[in-house]
């Protein structure tokens, strides 16, 4: 079992079961995440017999960075996993600090019509340790600390619910990677039962919903998940989530030329979200060779933005990163696996 996928509370229980003090777990976490050691035998305040036991029971093996692309304010990393699968993560430099967008699955089964990640179907879930390692390896590469994390790369996080929750708890732990809950964002295409589960977790993380259409007919075409969890039910669930958690929800809306960017679409979206504690993030589409979708023009995006603003909707336009590299989520992996 890889140590980087173990929550501190579970490591405490591990030591308690051996009739050891649970504070040993705190010591191990400090060595792993504060001192960044790569061997249990470098944990000098832990006795030799415990070092031996840890070495027998846990692995410290790391996945590998096999490719890196760089552009202004952005770096994209391709990781090779132990089973020779690939995932990717993106490091972005904002004025408020360094943010990493990580993957949660190898491939994705959601099948969104415009998404490179979903073009290659899900192979398996990532373990919590494989998500933690994406951050740790990037921190080692740049020799700086990451200040915020977005679970918005390859995969649907709520389709890998338990591992993603463990990952969040490890990176949020003040003795783990110590990333504040309000600096962690989980993005989902709208798995309603899992959103309901998430609202019971008492987490202070940010939730983002990939909406991309303001009516069910269009969303059915763009996002097959809408056939299982219809738009009206999703909106009701978002309202329930806001009421339960007292947290604002982000609505993600990718701008596809002549598909969902008309004035009518903007008006429908404003009406759909009226009175809700949300803000809309308009996303210029990253085009790929595998899809015919094109990005909306700047003029259309600004017109869409203005309509939402005038109707009282909080709205931003996502800052673009990586226009000179394989910017679309899943694009770097798809090149590697040649699919």
DSSP letters for 98-164: EEEEE--EES-SS--TT-HHHHS---EEPPHHHHHHHHHHHHHHHTS---EEEE-SSS-GGGGHHHH
Q: What share of the chain is helix, strand, coil (3-state, %, to 5)?
A: 40, 20, 40
Q: What is the dihedral of CA 296, 298, 302, 303, to 10 degrees?
A: -60
Residue 86's CB is within 10 A of a number of other CB atoms, namely 24
Rounded Cα distance, 208 and 189, in Å: 9
Which residue's structure tokens are 């590469």? 141
Distances (CA, A) of 165 to 170, 203, 317: 9, 10, 29
85 Ramachandran zone, left/alpha/beta (phi>0; psi -120 to 50) = beta
Return the ∠ at Cα 226 (arms to 281 and 150), rounded to 5°.
Answer: 40
DSSP letters for 148-189: EEEE-SSS-GGGGHHHHHHHHHHHHSTTTT---GGGEEEEES
| 115 catalytic residue (yes or no) | no
Of 12, 88, 139, 156, the active-site residue reads 88
Of 108, 112, 189, 329, the active-site residue reads 329
Rounded Cα distance, 333 and 80, in Å: 10
| 189 catalytic residue (yes or no) | no
Show the tokens assigned to 297.
């023009």
Which residue's structure tokens are 């096999």? 66
Q: Would you name the residues annotated as active-site residues?
A: 88, 329
């Amino acid at each position: 079992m890889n140590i980087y996928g173990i929550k501190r509370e579970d490591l405490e229980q591990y030591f308690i079961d051996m009739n050891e003090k649970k504070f040993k777990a705190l010591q191990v976490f400090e060595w792993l995440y504060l001192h960044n050691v790569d061997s249990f035998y470098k944990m000098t305040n832990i006795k030799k017999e415990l070092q031996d036991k840890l070495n027998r029971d846990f692995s410290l093996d790391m996945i590998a960075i096999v490719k890196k692309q760089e552009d202004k304010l952005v770096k994209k990393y391709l990781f090779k996993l132990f089973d020779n699968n690939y995932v990717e993560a993106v490091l972005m430099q904002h004025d408020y600090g360094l943010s990493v967008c990580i993957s949660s699955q190898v491939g994705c089964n959601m099948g969104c019509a415009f998404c490179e990640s979903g073009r290659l179907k899900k192979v398996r879930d990532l373990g919590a340790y494989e998500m933690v390692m994406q951050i740790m390896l990037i921190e080692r590469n740049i020799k700086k600390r990451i200040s915020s994390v977005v679970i918005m790369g390859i995969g649907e996080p709520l389709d890998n619910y338990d591992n993603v929750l463990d990952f969040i708890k490890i990176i949020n732990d003040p003795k783990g990677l110590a990333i504040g809950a309000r600096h962690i964002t989980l993005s989902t295409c709208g798995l309603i039962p899992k959103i309901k589960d998430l609202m019971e977790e008492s987490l202070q993380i940010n939730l983002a919903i990939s909406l991309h259409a303001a009516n069910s007919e269009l969303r059915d075409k763009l996002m097959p998940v809408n056939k299982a969890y219809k738009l009206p039910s999703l909106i009701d669930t978002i309202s329930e989530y806001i009421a339960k958690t007292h947290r604002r929800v982000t609505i993600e809306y990718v701008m596809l030329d002549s598909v969902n960017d008309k004035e009518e679409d903007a008006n429908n979206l404003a009406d759909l979200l009226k009175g809700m504690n949300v803000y809309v993030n308009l996303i210029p589409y990253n085009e790929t060779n595998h899809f015919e979708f094109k990005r909306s023009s700047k003029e259309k995006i600004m017109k869409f933005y203005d309509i939402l603003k005038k109707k009282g909707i909080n709205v931003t336009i996502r800052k673009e990163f990586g226009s000179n590299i394989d910017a679309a989520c899943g694009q770097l992996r798809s090149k590697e696996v040649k699919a």
